[in-house]
Structure 1
Amino acid sequence: MNVEELVRDSLRELAAEQPVAGPGFADRVFAGRRRRRTRRIASVAAATAAVVGIAVAVPLLDSGKGDVRPANVLDQDGIHAHPEQTPPRDVIGAGDAVLAAYYTARTRPLAEDRAVSERTYWLLDAETGRYEKDTRWSFVAVAPGVRTAAVLERTLPARRIGLLDLATGEVERWIPVGQRVGGLAFSNDGRRLVATTYEDSPDTQTKEKVINADGKEEWMWMTAWRGSSRTGFYDLDVASGRGSWSAVGPDRNGNARQDFAYSRAGDLVYQRVVGGADGMQKFYDLHGREVAAPANEKHLRSDVPARLSPSGRLAALGLTKEVNGSPGRSYSSIRDPRTGKEITKVRGAHLLAWADEKRLIAWERVTSLDEEYRPRLVLVTIGSDKVVPLSGVRKESLNAERQEWEPVFARR
């Protein structure tokens, strides 16, 4: 079976599984369009605002009832591109994937040989479709639907988890925790939250001697390796805030940050394992016991964020081929998740999120392989060599103590 047939069958299966849309579905879908048009007519602006409100709720807990999403997030053309902006100021997205936030990071020294990397986030304002700086948070995870984010306050690890309403910018509820938290991730359906716990900051850095581009030795802040203080994870119900904590110590092969995320089905969690022989991931049940990887995820790599396609029938894997030129061209592997067999290759050096069953958002370099690596966000398509630029070119920082903007994608 070729990729076109596989994708076609996947879409048919998805369509067959979908429930019949309830009354008013079309009105909800087109509400965003109507909202923007009516803004041009001052006499009806107030009435339109009353009809097209932004849903303020925990994602998916109401099974989509009354789901009127912001105009700039749900748009019928499917692509929001701003190739002139880096970092982006206006919403970027394609298909079901939207850039819900991004962050930069700077090193803050704590002692002569110890520091932490601190993030600053820009969150998507669903009302305006623009990214707004929010310095309150050290870590942000955005739920499917782009209405709610789980946040941690500035000092990590944190004693409580906030549920932030992205429409109002206010924390709707705090979830207190006994074990201090340093990382967060939502389940695929948005109903649950895995919170990774640490004794110390997971963003610790140490000063190490390196050889610079001129061949000279210099001291540089580096991510701390083999020194994680991870203690375990919480599996929390978002609606109630209740859940359980399981003890899982750090992996000796990992760095300081060893966060957990849910498997696609949500019945397991996995961690990133740097240099591991099992594809850089280990799976645990929700009681903290190490288990085998699920059949459809055992061939994945946790350093490729896109992972499984919406249907679960395609797997995004890592970079497999680079072709020099101006610019260089990079290709990543698309595989059968159960067998690990390659189905095809797709443009893109680093696959970040699936837009739909045939398209993905990726980092793609704009320089030759002989030049400094400089990427931009692009939309790539299975079966095509065409790329659609979504963002401007990220300028890699020459300062090791500063990290350029990193995207946070969510499903809309």
Structure 2
Amino acid sequence: MNVEELLRDSLCELAAEQRPAGPGYADRVLAARRRRRNRRLASVVAATAAVVAVAVAVPLLDPGKETVRPAGVLDKGGVHAHPDQSPPRDVIAAGQAVLAAYYRAEVEPQTDKRAVSQRTYWLLDPKTGKYEKDSRWSFVAVAPGLKTAAVLERSLPAQRIGLLDLTTGEVERWIPVERGVGGLAFSYDGSRLVATTYDENPDLRIKQKLIDLNEKETWMWGTEFGESSRSGFYDLDVASGEGHWSPVAPDRSIGSRQDFEFSRAGDRVYSQVIGAGDGLQQFYRLDGAKAAAPANEKGLRSDVPARLSPNGSLAALGLTKEVNGKPGKSYSSIRDPRTGKEITKVRGAHLLAWADDRRLIAWERVTGLNETYRPQLVLVTIGSDKVVPLSGVREEPAKGVDWDTWEPVFARR
């Protein structure tokens, strides 16, 4: 029996068992074959093991159970840039950070005085490396690894949370909830999910008059200025769907959406507030009681998404300098997360995600300070003034589009 015949027989036997390929695949196949073959085939089996080990990287037997991905999407290294695309059509990534999705938000009037800011998402298809529109969801959070997304249906607050398989585009499981959910975020390791609960749609808009704008009517967040209907949060185990709900009253904020996110260690959650001494963020224990910021996060700001570097030694802070008259020349602060002391500055106006412990993805302004704000995604490096464009320049908001034309959602690969 030659190598090709042995490999074919091995795969056929495993297919008959109807098991998805997984850890130990090659070992199971070889163990079965050893029980049936003479020891004289030991050298052939060893060669087959190498072939099978490569073969299991692509799920031939049950493609619904394993993830097929384009080369490089999950690799911990390469840069995927498309500076001619805005919004992007093809995967954007650098280091461990991947643009897993992006969304547009449009104000959809319900009455003359009431509207909802409705999001439409484009999700990264891991099979093709392209972003595909998926209008089923009002909110999407992508787990580390880019295999699963937590999703909410169009009408908020939602009464169930979907766990979406990003490869198949199908919901694998629903997690029912007793209190309506309006926001989602995964823990750093992806094992848990914090689901923020609301009594009303957190993206509700009310048409009101602003005196400082000559009483011009405009859409404002919430039922009144800054009012929120947030009621608390669920702390859920992703694998089992089990967890508990903790009541938390709304914080002082400029908007009705006051979503929670996990601390790096996952032992606390935080939300954005105004007037807080700890960088516009208020932390809570998992039972809903207010808590101090963790020692390694007290120097962070809730309005800077990048937060801690992968090894936890650096904190991404806000814009510190824009060179007047030189579009695209901005700098943000990198600090010690425990002391708040500035270590250095890095290029970029708004730090979004860490690619590794030295590089970050940022929005960088390409227009002058007296022009309409138009940024593009760039890769910046600590200790270097060089920027690498990753996306095209974001266009000006179209009529009816809410604030920004597209907003990125990053995840770790």
Q: TM-score, length-normalised on structure 2?
A: 0.82
Distance in 1 between residues matched to 2:274 and 2:70, nearest whole Å: 39
Q: How far apart, CA to CA, are the structure 2 residues paired with 1:226 and 1:200?
A: 14
Deviation digits for residues 148-194 of structure 1 (CA, Å, limit 9, x no counterpart) = 00000000000000000000000000000001100000000000000
The CA deviation string for residues 293-344 of structure 1, in whole angstroms up to 9 with x for no partner, is 1000011000000000000000000001110234241110000000000000
Alignment-derived partner of residue 323 in structure 1: 323
CA distance in 2, matches of 1:401, 1:128: 28
Q: Would the alpha carbon gap of residues 348 and 96 (structure 1) be closer, same or farther in structure 2, given more than 3 Å must change?
A: same
SS at match of 1:91: coil
- Letter of the 1:310 counterpart: P
Look up the equivalent residue of 2:308 and give its one-letter code. Answer: L
1:52 aligns with 2:50: no
| Residue matched to 2:410 | 409
Give the whole-Å Cα distance in 1 for the aligned partners of 2:72 and 2:208: 45
**Helix, strand or coil at the partner of 1:390:** strand
Asked if structure 2 preserves the Cα contact closer than 8 Å seen for 1:328 and 1:369, the reply is no
SS of the residue corresponding to residue 80 of structure 1 reads coil
Amino acid at match of 2:153: E
Tell me how far apart the structure 2 counterparts of residues 77 and 237 of structure 1 sit (CA, whole Å): 30
Structure 1: runs of 5 or more not aligned: 1-21, 25-47, 58-65
Instruction: Confirm or deny that 1:347 pairs with 2:347.
Output: yes
Give distance in 1, aligned partners of 2:70 and 2:209: 49
Q: Distance in 1 between matches of 2:314 and 2:281?
A: 18
Q: Is the 8 A contact 1:221 1:401 kept in 2?
A: no
Name the SS for the 1:120 alignment partner: strand
Distance 1:349 1:336, change over 3 A: same
- Which one is further off, 262-271 or 109-118? 109-118
Which has the larger displacement, 221-230 or 78-87?
Answer: 221-230
Q: Map 1:142-291 to 2 at 5 A.
A: 142-210=142-210, 218-224=216-222, 225-291=225-291
Q: Are 1:122 and 2:128 matched, yes or no?
A: no
For residues 228 and 124 of structure 2, the distance between their equivalents in structure 1, rounded to whole angstroms, comes to 31
Q: Unpaired segments of 5 or more residues in structure 2?
A: 1-22, 26-53
Structure 1 55/191 Cα, relative in aligned 2: closer, same or farther at 3 Å? farther
Q: CA deviation at 1:397?
A: 0.9
Aligned partner of 1:135 in structure 2 is: 135
Deviation at 1:274, TM superposition (A): 2.8
1:70 to 1:49, Cα distance in 2 relative to 1, 3 A: farther
Name 1:368's counterpart in structure 2: 368
Q: Which amino acid aligns with 2:364?
A: E
What secondary structure is seen at the aligned counterpart in 1 of 2:258?
Answer: coil
Distance 2:278 2:385 in 1: 31
Instruction: Say if 1:153 and 1:233 are closer, same or farther in 2 by CA, change over 3 A.
Output: same
**1:249–1:326 distance in 2 versus 1, CA, 3 Å:** same
TM-fit CA distance, 1:227:
1.4
Contact 2:296-2:338 at 8 Å conserved across structures: yes
Partner of 1:91: 91
Q: Check 1:330–1:147 CA distance in 2 against 1; reply closer, same or farther (3 A cut).
A: same
| Partner Cα distance (2:381, 2:80) in 1 | 16
Output one character per residue of 1:251-310: Cα deviation in whole Å (capped at 9) or x when no partner: 133420000000000010001113433311011111001011100001100000000000
Q: Which residue of 2 aligns with 1:295?
A: 295
Sort the Cα spacing of 1:341 and 1:242 in 2 relative to 1 into closer, same or farther, 3 A. Answer: same
- Aligned residue type for 2:94: A
Length-normalised TM-score, structure 1: 0.82
Would the alpha carbon gap of residues 76 and 239 (structure 1) be closer, same or farther in structure 2, given more than 3 Å must change? closer
For residue 223 of structure 1, report the CA deviation from its aligned partner. Answer: 2.3
SS of 1:340's partner is coil
How do 1:390-409 and structure 2 match up within 5 A? Answer: 390-397=390-397, 399=399, 401-402=401-402, 403-409=404-410
Query: Which whole-Å CA distance do the structure 2 matches of 1:50 and 1:267 have between them?
Result: 37
Q: Residue 285 and residue 55 in structure 1: after superposition, are their counterparts in 2 closer, same or farther (change >3 A)?
A: farther
CA positional deviation for 1:211? 7.9
Shift of residue 229, structure 1, vs aligned partner:
0.5
Q: Is the 8 A contact 1:55 1:147 kept in 2?
A: no
Which letter maps to 1:408? V
Rounded to whole Å, the distance in 2 between the matches of 1:175 and 1:76 is 31
Give the letter for the 1:191 counterpart.
S
The CA distance in 1 between the partners of 2:372 and 2:388, in whole Å, is 22
Native 8 Å contact 2:253 2:272 kept in 1: no
The CA deviation at 1:69 is 5.2
Which residue identity is paired with 1:358? R
Q: CA deviation at 1:398?
A: 5.2
CA contact (8 A) 2:161 2:174 kept: yes
CA distance in 1 between partners of 2:249 and 2:63 (Å): 39
Alpha-carbon distance in 2 for matches of 1:94, 1:118: 29
Aligned-pair CA distance for 1:395: 1.0
